[in-house]
Amino acid sequence: MIDLINVTPESQGLSSKYITEFLQEIKEQRFDLHGFIILKGNKVLAEGYSKPFDKDYHHRVYSSSKTYSAIAIGKLIGEGKAKLTDKLIDFFPEYKKDCDSLIAETTLEDALTMQVSLPTVSYADVNVKFAGNINYTYKPSGWAKSFFVGTKGNLPNGMKFRYNTAASYLLNVIVYKVTGLNFLEYLRPEFDEMGISKEIDCVQSPDGISWGGSGVLTTLRDFAKIGMLLINKGEINGKQLIPRDFMEKAVSKHTENCISGLRMNNSCGYGYQIWVEPYGFGLHGMNSNSVHCFPEKDVIIAYQGGVDNQVAKVSIYDKLLRIYKNIEKEPIVENLSEYSQMQKALGEMTLGKGYGEKYSKTEENINGKKFKLKENPMGINWVKVCFDRDGGKFIYENERGVKEFLFGREEYVKFELPEIYSGIKLGEMMDRGYDSMGLGSWVMEDCLFLKINVVDMYIGHVNMLLRFKGDVLVLEMDNNTEFFLYEYFGTAVGKMEND
C-alpha cells in the first residue's frame, strides 16, 4: 500500500512561495482548479481543493481514463492472455466477414499508440449536430461493432498519430472479453496493493462496458498514485505489479505528433495511451484532469479541474513546470512566514469568480421581464432573469418545458441542473438533475455574465453573456461538455414582451 506522507515543501527542496505564487496566478486568471497535489516520492509537498471538492471526492478524469485501460492491457500481456502484435479483430471474430481490410490489420499496439487506420470516433453519431458546431451525440448501442462494421480505414496502421477514443474503448472491451471483468475490476488486486479506493468507478457505454476512454471517477490522491505506478515502471513497494518491459514501452515515444513544430507538453510524442512530455510523461484529460510525471526528480503533479481551453491548459502546465524546476535535490531552510502564506492560499482555493460588478442599474429595467427569442440553435423560446439581493434565476423555456438555473452574486449557489441526460450508464437517466453551481457578474453596465458549473459524475460548464439594449437582448451561450448540454451553444436575439 502506498502511504502518502504530508511534509513541508522546504524539506523536499522547494520554497513554499512558489506554490503560493501558483495559487495567486490561478486566482487572478480565474481558472477552475478543483484540486491539485504535488508529490516527491511518497511525500506530499502541497495539496488543496476548491469547494465542493475535497480529498474524498471521486472526480471524473475523462481522457486520463485511457491510461488505466493501457495498464490493464499490460497486465493482460504479462499473464500471457494477449500480445502487442495481436490484431484487434481476432478478439471480435463475429465481425470478421464485414470488416474493412485496413481495419482488420489494426493491432493492439496500434490502438495503444493511437496509430489506427480508422479516421473517426466510430461510436459518435456525427449525423446529430447542435448549433451547427462539431458537438455530437453517441450511437445508442454497438460501440465495439461500430469500429469494425460500416467503417473504413484510410491510412496504413502504425504510421500516423490520430487521437481516437474509439480505439481506447476497444482496449477495455478486450479486457472484458478475455477476463469477464471490466478493466477496473480486473486491476483490483493491483489497486489494493497501491491503496486505491474500492469506490473508484467508471461511466459505462450504452452496451454496459466501462468507458475506458473517458469515464473513470477517482479521488485526486488515487489519481496521483497512477503516476507513481508509471514513474516506477509498474513497481510499488518492491512488488512488480505490471510487467516492467511493458511499462518502459508505455512511457516511451512511439509516434510523432508535433506537426506545429512547437514542443509543448502535448506535442512531444505518444506512448501507450500516455503522453510524452518535455520532462517526462503524463495523463491528459478533458477539463484539465492531468497527471504530470517528472522521473528525474521523482516528482508527480496531479490536478483535477474544469478548464478545457487549450491556451489555459498550457498556461497551467507552464506554471507547474516553474514549480518543478525550482525543486532542489536537498532540503532548504524553512521560512515559517512563507509556509504560513502557502497554507492560507491553500485554504482559500475557490472556483473562478470576481468577473465584474455585483449590481447594475440595468437590473431595474429587466428584472422578471420576459424576452421572446427568435429561432435559435439552442431551441430556447423565451428567457427572463429574476434578481434578488444575493443572486437570482435564469428562467427559460425549451421543448422540454420551463427550466431555471440559479446563480449567486459573489459566491456560487448550488442547485440541480434541470436537464438530465445519463447516469452511470450512458443513455440510462438518473432520477435527479446534475449537481451544479451558478455565479453571475455584471461585466459591463448592460452585460451580464452567467457561469454554470456542473460538478457531478459529468463535469462541464455552460457560460452565458446577456447583453441588453433597451428592449433587445442578445444571448450568447458556450459550453464545454461531453455528450450532455450539447444544445447550449450559439447566439439568440430576443425582444422584451409587454406586460
What are 408's three cell numbers?
449567486
Q: What are phi and psi of 182, to 5 degrees?
A: -70, 155
Q: Which residues of the chain have pLDDT under 70?
A: 126-136, 499
Q: Is 389 left (phi over 0), alpha (psi -120 to 50) or beta?
A: alpha
pTM here is: 0.95
Nearest to 143 by CA among 108, 101, 113, 173: 173
Residue 361: CB atoms within 10 A of its CB come to 9
| Helix spans in 201-309 (H) | 220-231, 244-250
Question: What b/e string do you get for 31-59 counting C-beta neighbours within 10 Å, with b at 16 or more?
Answer: bbbbbbbbbbbebbbbbbbbeebeeebbb
Residue 326: CB atoms within 10 A of its CB come to 14
In CATH, the architecture of 5-347 is: 3-Layer(aba) Sandwich (3.40)
pLDDT of residue 129: 54
Integer Cα distance of 363 and 369 in angstroms = 10
Nearest to 438 by CA among 374, 470, 402, 391: 391
Nearest to 36 by CA among 18, 55, 52: 55
Nearest to 61 by CA among 305, 294, 299: 305
CA-to-CA separations, 429 to 338, 419, 423, 461, in angstroms, rounded: 49, 10, 5, 19
CA-to-CA separations, 3 to 39, 44, 388, in angstroms, rounded: 12, 10, 48
pLDDT of residue 262: 73
In CATH, the architecture of 362-496 is: Beta Barrel (2.40)
pLDDT of residue 131: 46
Residue 292 · residue 301 · CB < 8 Å: yes
Q: Show Cβ contacts of residue 91 under 8 Å, excluding neighbours closer than 6 positions.
A: 173, 174, 177, 178
Model confidence pLDDT, tens digit, residues 411-441: 999 999 998 889 999 999 999 999 999 999 9
Residue 46 · residue 38 · CB < 8 Å: yes
Q: Where are the domains of the chain?
A: 5-347, 362-496
CA-to-CA separations, 151 to 88, 118, 136, in angstroms, rounded: 15, 7, 18
The strand pairing partners of 289, in sequence order, are 285
Integer Cα distance of 157 and 72 in angstroms = 22
Model confidence pLDDT, tens digit, residues 151-196: 999 999 999 999 999 999 999 999 999 999 999 999 999 999 999 9
Integer Cα distance of 450 and 453 in angstroms = 10
CA-to-CA separations, 393 to 296, 366, 389, 415, in angstroms, rounded: 51, 13, 12, 11
